[in-house]
Amino acid sequence: MPTTTSANSDFGITPAWPLANGVQARVTTVTAPGNLAVHVGDDPAAVIRHRRILQRRLALPVTPKWLNQVHGTQVVNYQSCQAGVTADAIWAQSTPSVCAVLTADCLPILLASHDGEVIAAVHAGWRGLVAGVVEQTLAALPKPPSQLSAYIGPAISRAHFQVGNDVYTAFAERELVDDATFTRDQQGKWLADLPLLAERILQSTGVMQVMQSGLCTFSDPRFSSYRQNPKAGRIASLIWKNHPHS
């Protein structure tokens, strides 16, 4: 389970994740540029301003098509979908393109093929993982899992992700429960390791190169945490292609 030593860039955090030429990835923070979600009660004008700052500071080649994320398994293609489409994963093969998801404790999973031709971004809370959003995304990609690598971005860590028996049972039915993924706490509930669960699912499907950010949205003030504040904004995890692969 390699953990990246994600470096602070001049804007957001750049994953220490090897990518092909022409492919870049970034994770935003609560200050760079701030909340990027329109559904959390923030001033719409402020959200639009943050999104424009994001595109300018990262020199994004095109505008992200932000998804209406619902903890489901719908996967869309950047080139053919409309902004605001209901989905929890987006992928692209065309150039230029930007794939992005918004999170505040849930997992952002970025995917890239070794040759740089295919990129994807996945939003996965525990419901999405159980329902198969990772498998659905991989099935949609025109590259086999063995030719992909994954980056699991900032998310709530096991120390802070307390869940009930319903979550434990859901993952047990998928044979993903052991001492590493779930531990009992002093209140008789469970502490679940969401990033590790995602890594196990990725590897079981054939994605063997999985990088973990090792960053916790609950304890790190650079990120948004829904469990700390249900009205929290959202950070973005993005992957994009600047120019044609050659």
Q: Tell me, what CATH number does 147's domain have?
A: 3.60.140.10
Do the domain assignments include residue 166? no
Mean per-residue pLDDT, 189-203: 98
What pLDDT, on a 0 to 100 scale, did the predictor assign at position 3?
55
Do the domain assignments include residue 199? yes
Mean per-residue pLDDT, 138-146: 98
Do the domain assignments include residue 25? yes
Q: How does the average pLDDT of the chain come out, rounded?
A: 94
Do the domain assignments include residue 60? yes
Do the domain assignments include residue 170? no
124-130 long-range contacts (CB < 8 A, ≥24 apart) are 124/88, 124/198, 125/71, 125/194, 126/163, 126/167, 126/170, 126/171, 126/192, 126/194, 126/197, 127/71, 128/71, 128/72, 128/73, 128/88, 129/171, 129/194, 129/197, 129/198, 129/201, 130/170, 130/171, 130/174
What pLDDT, on a 0 to 100 scale, did the predictor assign at position 246?
40
Angle at 114 (CA atoms; ends 84, 213), nearest 5 degrees = 65
What pLDDT, on a 0 to 100 scale, did the predictor assign at position 245?
43
Alpha helix locations (H) across 17-147? 44-57, 126-131, 133-140
What pLDDT, on a 0 to 100 scale, did the predictor assign at position 10?
76
In sequence order, the β-bridge partners of residue 3 are 212
HSE-up of residue 165 (Cα within 13 Å, Cβ side): 2
Q: Indicate the number of domains in the chain.
A: 1
Do the domain assignments include residue 96? yes
106 pLDDT more than 80: yes
Do the domain assignments include residue 107? yes
pLDDT per position as a tens digit, 18-71: 999 999 999 999 999 999 999 999 999 999 999 999 999 999 999 999 999 999
For 112, the domain range is 7-157+195-241
What pLDDT, on a 0 to 100 scale, did the predictor assign at position 110?
98
Do the domain assignments include residue 122? yes
